[in-house]
């Protein structure tokens, strides 16, 4: 009976993963399974339901009417199971906590804060996933993640499907080699500039493109990479201009070879949000502590302490 129940939960988890990821192959990677294993679990669940859940004739696949009716119920089942696993024992929450982290924030969340939270809650297993902020918001909305730390342009509110608190403001800087004596500029002065930026999907890159287009300038990307320190090294060598968070420039080993370029008409204010989906009451103290640690860490970075 227990084995049968676990098997059915695994089948439900596979279905939800496929629906969230949009493909069997992506779900298999997330579940650390082979594609045939995920397919078998889907087929078992469809057999138990008595109807196909995916329309496999379409590319990409779509949920059938039965699949649409089942997906929220399946997500609810997994959320309830997560809540049961997180029930506090002797006042200590336990279980898995799935947290998404925006690429630009990973250097804040993968070291000190994680250590502090695990030290305070030793029964918690943290599963961290990095990604672009809007993708992470969708993961929280669909319950593929319990919480996320994301970056959004200042003034942009969170979707109504999630709740969150503002952790801190973020300032992005246009940077150039110190050898280039650039004073205050207008966006239209950047028509010939090459840029060293994050890949597509980055909210900061999108804001830069929009600002340049308003000035009639087409953005030309010379190099794209997720690694900010690599970006700054390339900027320092004169390969192009960069757009980076102030806190990362302040601690970069290349900062002495770089200078901020003030560009009138370009506003790159961002806000760091702590976002949560369906409330998991037993895990709320863990998320609250993560928020406190991040807020404290960001405050230290701003004051230089």
Reported as a single tens digit per residue, the pLDDT across 228-269 is: 999 999 999 999 999 998 888 888 999 999 999 989 878 778
Phi, psi (rounded to 5 degrees) for 52: -65, 140
Q: 95-99, 168-172, 232-236: which has the highest mean pLDDT? A: 232-236
Whether 4 has a pLDDT exceeding 60, the answer reads: no
Q: d(Cα 97, Cα 126) in Å, to the nearest integer? A: 5
How much is the pLDDT for 84? 67
What is the rounded average pLDDT of the residues 6-14? 79
Whether 216 has a pLDDT exceeding 90, the answer reads: yes
Q: Which CATH number fits domain 2-85: 3.40.50.2300, 1.10.10.10, 3.40.50.300, 1.10.8.60?
A: 1.10.10.10
Q: Work out the percent of the chain whose per-residue pLDDT is above 90.
A: 23
Write the CA distances from 30 to 143, 144, 301, integer angstroms: 14, 10, 33
How much is the pLDDT for 2? 39
What is the rounded average pLDDT of the residues 209-215? 91
How much is the pLDDT for 301? 60
How much is the pLDDT for 6? 44
What is the rounded average pLDDT of the residues 119-140? 87
Q: Work out the percent of the chain whose per-residue pLDDT is above 70.
A: 90
How much is the pLDDT for 26? 87
Whether 98 has a pLDDT exceeding 50, the answer reads: yes
Q: d(Cα 21, Cα 264) in Å, to the nearest integer? A: 41
What is the rounded average pLDDT of the residues 68-85? 79
How much is the pLDDT for 91? 62
Rounded to whole angstroms, the maximal C-alpha distance in the chain is 74
Domain 96-305: CATH class, spelled out:
alpha beta
Mean pLDDT (the chain, rounded): 84
Phi, psi (rounded to 5 degrees) for 188: -65, -20
Whether 21 has a pLDDT exceeding 60, the answer reads: yes
Strands 62-63 and 54-55, bridge-based pairing: antiparallel
Find all residues with CB under 8 Å of 230, minimum gap 6, and list them.
none
Phi, psi (rounded to 5 degrees) for 43: -65, -40
- And the tokens for 249? 């420039």
Q: Who wins on pLDDT, 98 or 224?
A: 224
- Residue ranges per domain, the chain? 2-85, 96-305
How much is the pLDDT for 280? 67
């Amino acid at each position: 009976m227990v084995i049968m129940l676990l098997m059915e939960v695994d089948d439900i988890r596979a279905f939800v993963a496929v629906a969230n990821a949009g493909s069997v192959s992506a779900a298999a990677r997330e579940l650390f399974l082979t594609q045939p294993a995920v397919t078998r679990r889907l087929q078992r669940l469809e057999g138990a339901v008595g109807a196909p859940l995916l329309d496999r004739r379409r590319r990409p696949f779509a949920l059938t009417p039965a699949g649409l009716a089942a997906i929220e119920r399946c997500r609810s089942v997994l959320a309830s199971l997560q809540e049961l696993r997180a029930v506090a024992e002797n006042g200590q929450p336990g279980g898995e906590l799935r947290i998404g982290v925006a690429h630009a924030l990973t250097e804040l969340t993968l070291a000190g804060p994680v250590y502090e939270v695990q030290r305070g809650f030793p029964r918690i297993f943290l599963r961290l996933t990095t990604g672009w902020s809007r993708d992470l918001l969708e993961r929280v909305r669909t319950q593929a993640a319990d919480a996320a730390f994301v970056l959004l342009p200042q003034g942009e509110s969170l979707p109504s499907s999630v709740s969150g608190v503002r952790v801190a403001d973020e300032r992005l800087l246009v940077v150039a080699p110190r050898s280039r004596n650039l004073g205050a500029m207008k966006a239209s002065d950047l028509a010939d500039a090459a840029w060293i930026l994050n890949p597509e999907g980055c909210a900061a890159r999108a804001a830069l493109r929009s600002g340049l287009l308003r000035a009639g300038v087409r953005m030309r990307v010379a190099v794209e990479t997720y690694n900010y320190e690599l970006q700054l090294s390339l900027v320092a060598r004169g390969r192009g201009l960069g757009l980076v968070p102030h806190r990362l420039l302040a601690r970069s080993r290349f900062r002495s070879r770089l200078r901020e370029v003030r560009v009138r008409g370009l506003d790159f204010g961002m806000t760091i949000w702590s976002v949560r989906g369906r409330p998991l009451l037993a895990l709320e103290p863990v998320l609250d502590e993560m928020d406190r640690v991040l807020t404290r860490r960001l405050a230290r970075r701003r004051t230089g302490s």
